[in-house]
Amino acid sequence: MRPHNCNYNHTPAIGDMIQMAGHSSGNMLIEKSSIETRSPDEQQQFLQSALHDLRAHQRGVCVAAELLLEAADDRERAALVDQIKKGLTKTEHLLNAIDRYASALTPSLYSITLFPSASAVRFAIANLDHEIQEANAAVTVGELPEIQGDRRRLTELFENLLSNSIKFHGQDPPEIEIAAGRAPDGWLFSVTDNGIGIPEKYRDRLFVPFRRLHGADVPGAGLGLAASRKIAEGHGGRIWIDSPAAAGARFCILLPAADGI
């Protein structure tokens, strides 16, 4: 097994970044660590961005509701009701994304078990079945290792990356490859696609909450990649973009290897 040409730079040993504590059920829980701490400025920026987006949806619903009271005919009323429903749906999606991101911030609540990482990828693909079929996407999965981690959170991580590849697929149908290989500090995963690519100057900002390269033109809350970074860090790993010069994007995820594996 080897990752798909990820540019790997050695970092401090993952074992030095994460501590494991026994759990009575036989599972493992990650102890609270510095990666869970957010600076006051970071917290304030996140809350301000979340409130800004929520208020924007609220204003849209309120305006439509006020116009509904003055609607002259059934056709106009139906259009306004549809607008209200869309606004409420966007609000629900944003609240769900905030909830998932908030959960990713607390590694002390991660339920750590030894499991085949391929199962997390399979769950992610199944969750995106509609999107994959609609985009006529082809997802290729190589041989993947057993890892020690929170299956649910890592499923979310792969789902976020797959969703990103499908959204930004360009003119051709998406072709996505998931691979993994051994690295000095653990297992190095890669998710590579043939999409529109990500300019180098924008790569770091994509992991910041609510930072979207394409604005509101593409559906989403702007929290998927930010949550993925927190999930990787919550496992004592990291995630970065190492895309080729040509079109396409490659996300690399370094995760700790299970003891003895």
> Which domains are seen in the chain, by residue range?
14-30+112-255 (3.30.565.10), 40-103 (1.20.58)
Is residue 20's pLDDT more than 50?
no
Residue 254 to residue 86: CA distance in whole angstroms = 38
Q: How confident is the model at residue 206 (pLDDT cuts 50, 70, 90)?
A: confident
Q: pLDDT grade, residue 61 (50/70/90)?
A: confident
Nearest-angstrom CA–CA distance, 228 and 249: 16
pLDDT at 214: 54
Residue 222 pLDDT more than 50? yes
Tell whether pTM > 0.85: no
pLDDT at 255 exceeding the cut of 80: yes
Query: pLDDT tier at 45 (50, 70, 90 boundaries)?
Result: low
Q: What pLDDT is attached to residue 39? A: 53
For residues 84 and 64, the answer to whether their CB atoms sit within 8 Å is yes
* Confidence band, pLDDT 50/70/90 cuts, at residue 37: very low
How, if at all, do strands 146-149 and 175-183 pair?
unpaired
Which uninterrupted H or E stretch holds 58? helix 40-69
For the cut 70, the answer to whether the pLDDT of residue 120 exceeds it is: yes
**Residue with token string 């504590």:** 21
The arithmetic mean of pLDDT across residues 103-120, rounded, is 91
pLDDT-based confidence at residue 229 (cuts at 50, 70, 90):
very high
pLDDT of 108 reads 86
Q: Are 255 and 189 in contact (CB under 8 A)?
A: yes
**Per-residue pLDDT at 42 exceeds 90:** no
pLDDT of residue 160: 94
Average pLDDT over residues 187-202: 85
Res 96: pLDDT: 81
